[in-house]
Copies of this chain bind each other. A is one copy, B any other.
Amino acid sequence: MEPDVFYILGNKVRRDLLSHLTCTECYFSLLSSRVTVSSTAVAKHLKIMEREGILQSYEKEERFIGPTKKYYRISIAKSYVLTLTPDMFWYKGFDLDGAELKDFQVNLSSLKEDPQGLSEMLSEFLKANRELEKILEAFRAVEAYRNKLIKMIKEEYLKSIGDMTQLAILHYLLLNGEATIEELSDRLNLKEREVREKIEEMSRFIPVKMINDGRVLLDEAKIIEGGNNGEENPGKGE
């Protein structure tokens, strides 16, 4: 049976738990320390998500000492789109596997802004449907790609730099574009001073900028230039 993702996401604590699970390996007490509700409530939410087929738990021994711990990981890889208006309601889910990286030409400029009569309206609607199909295919492809890439980035960062907190900051910035020190402090359960220190450390490896107003940004221009060193990418996109 398909998991009811909307039901799962209809709760702020579950959304927060899922968000933490995507950036690092999480066991119960770590997850519990990152959200503001009681550990009983966290246990309940984890159970609901396991039952719905969104999460899997697994046991893992601590590296040096101590009993095994129960870890959690998300067990689906899907994207969803939905539209809800007074005249239209639909939604669709996509599995993020094996999408092809190709180019898409989406032609919306030739749709008529003001079609006359039922027959022209229907015709324009069906043409818009065809463009929508392309958009959804492109969305699925780019999400499948980003999903593959962010996994590679996490593994590479842990292997070569090895700092989980820095990685959590990087993960957040890649997905959200920017962050404030305050957001990161909330999210990582660290003092703002500690967040600033982590970003300082991180900036030795990754072009990241702290701005005076408390915002943190990746230096996109520098990263893209850096990534193109060596063989230049001949893509027309950039």
Chain A positions near chain B (C-beta within 8 angstroms): 4-11, 15, 18-19, 21-22, 54, 73-91, 96, 101-113, 115, 117-132, 135-136, 138-139, 141-143, 145-147, 149-154, 156-157, 160, 174-177, 205-206, 218, 220, 223-229, 233-238
Contacts of A11 in B (CB 8 A): 7
In the assembly, what is the distance between CA of A4 and CA of B12, in Å?
Answer: 9
On whether the beta carbons of A5 and B84 are closer than 8 Å, the reply is yes
Number of copies: 2
CB distance A146 to B175 under 8 Å?
no
Complex alpha-carbon distance, A80 and B90, angstroms: 11
User: Within the complex, what minimum Cβ distance (angstroms) separates A152 from chain B?
Assistant: 6
Closest to A176 in B: B90
Query: Which among B21, B119, B125 is the interface contact of A146 at CB below 8 angstroms?
Result: B125
| CB-nearest residue of chain B to A122 | B223
A93 → B minimal CB distance (Å): 10
Chain B residues within 8 Å of A18, by CB: 84, 89
A84–B74 CB distance below 8 A: yes
Q: How far is the CA of A96 from the CA of B175 in the complex (A)?
A: 23
A41 to B197: give the CA distance in the assembly, Å: 54
